[in-house]
Structure 1
Amino acid sequence: MADVSLPTPAAVPRPAAIPLREIAPWAVFGTVLAAVLLYFVGVEQGVLAVFSGEVLHEFVHDGRHLLGFPCH
């Protein structure tokens, strides 16, 4: 039988871990942004309305149904 030598795979360098200090501000920003968007899509109407009228409600109307929020 013939000896077949296979090439050895090159060592892939492992990326350095990202420090929590760099992730925290972006995580807080993303959480606040998601909460604001969820408020406008899910709650913005009626007594708690920040904007008067139905313009914002109609703008996010399909998103409300997609996310399962009742609106009428």
Structure 2
Amino acid sequence: MATISALPTPATAPAPIPLRQILPWATFGVVLAVVLLYFVGAEQGITSLVSGETVHEFVHDGRHLLGFPCH
């Protein structure tokens, strides 16, 4: 009978992703997060980009959840 021994195979490290490929997606994510934070936290009053109370009412509960005062 032949015996087969299981030899450990060396683990291969994943290939690094170049910064040139990550930077556009990271920039997009940061810009999207800042825009979302603006609409949740500051979209009312003098800094309002959208007239009316539609955006305020849409993000009202999220505003309280994140600790932003609104009334």
TM-score, structure 2 normalization: 0.88
Aligned to 1:47: 46
Percent identity (aligned): 67
Partners of 2:22 and 2:52 lie apart in 1 by 39
Q: What 5-or-longer segments of structure 2 have no aligned partner?
A: none
Q: What 5-or-longer segments of structure 1 have no aligned partner?
A: 1-5
* Structure 1 letter corresponding to 2:68: F
Matched, 1:17 2:16: yes
SS of residue paired to 1:69: coil
Partners of 1:59 and 1:33 lie apart in 2 by 18
Q: How many residue pairs end up in the alignment?
A: 67
* Structure 1 letter corresponding to 2:10: A
